[in-house]
Structure 1
Amino acid sequence: MGLNYIPSCSLLFISWLQDHLLPCPFKYITGIDCPGCGFQRSMVALLKGDIRQSFLLYPPAIPLLIISAWWLADSLFKLDTPKNVVKKTMFIVVALIITVSYIVKMARL
């Protein structure tokens, strides 16, 4: 097991992940994309290192990862103020990004 083993394992994992994405129940029932449709494919693109493709598939993916990392760090190290100003601001910004990207996606259909 040399250094070549690790990249091949990660490629196998990414390939497996692409074949086992969860279907969207909202889209299955209504035939319309939900505000989260594209997130899984976007994460697979990020795992492959393709930031551009990840953004094109689901623009809120990277901001969602950033806010998730912040929440984890805040829960461990108490980074935010008592009024949670940073957390609330980040939540509002991410919610706006999700809303705007969903409206743009629906307008294109």
Structure 2
Amino acid sequence: MFLQLEDYMLPCLNKQFFGMDCLGCGIQRALSLVFHGEFIAAFKMYPAIYTLLTLAFVVAINFFYKVKYAQKIISILAIVNIAIIVISYVIKMNQII
């Protein structure tokens, strides 16, 4: 029998203890949605999912094959990811209030 990814998701301790989302809330569900082919729903769940996957791909490729400008690409992707995560978090928190 095929195991569901949702059966192994970790709970958000920040949400359990403090009652509010953290910056990473939704990433597991978004990744599950990507694996199920629901790409728009994944983006709505966690807007940084595709840039994070791109960053992970570049880091993995650079691990096995040294890419000429990998450090610069990784740095730019990291900054873009941080910006997307923080901006989407602020927007989400403003919608809740």
Relative to the length of structure 2, the TM-score reads 0.90
Q: Does 1:35 align with 2:29?
A: no
After superposition, the Cα gap between the structure-2 partners of 1:20 and 1:81, relative to the gap in structure 1 and judged at 3 Å, is: closer
RMSD: 1.5
User: Partners of 1:80 and 1:94 in 2: how far apart?
Assistant: 21
After superposition, the Cα gap between the structure-2 partners of 1:36 and 1:80, relative to the gap in structure 1 and judged at 3 Å, is: farther
2:8 corresponding residue in structure 1: 20
Superposed displacement of residue 18, structure 1? 1.9
Q: Does 1:101 align with 2:69?
A: no
Deviations 1:45-78 (A, max 9, x none): 1111000000011111111111001001011111
Deviations 1:3-57 (A, max 9, x none): xxxxxx6xx33xx222332100111111010000001111111111000000011
1:6 corresponding residue in structure 2: none
Relative to the length of structure 1, the TM-score reads 0.81
The alignment of Structure 1 onto Structure 2 pairs a total of residues equal to 96
User: Partners of 1:20 and 1:78 in 2: how far apart?
Assistant: 34
Gaps of 5+ in 1: 1-8
Gaps of 5+ in 2: none
Percent identity (aligned): 30
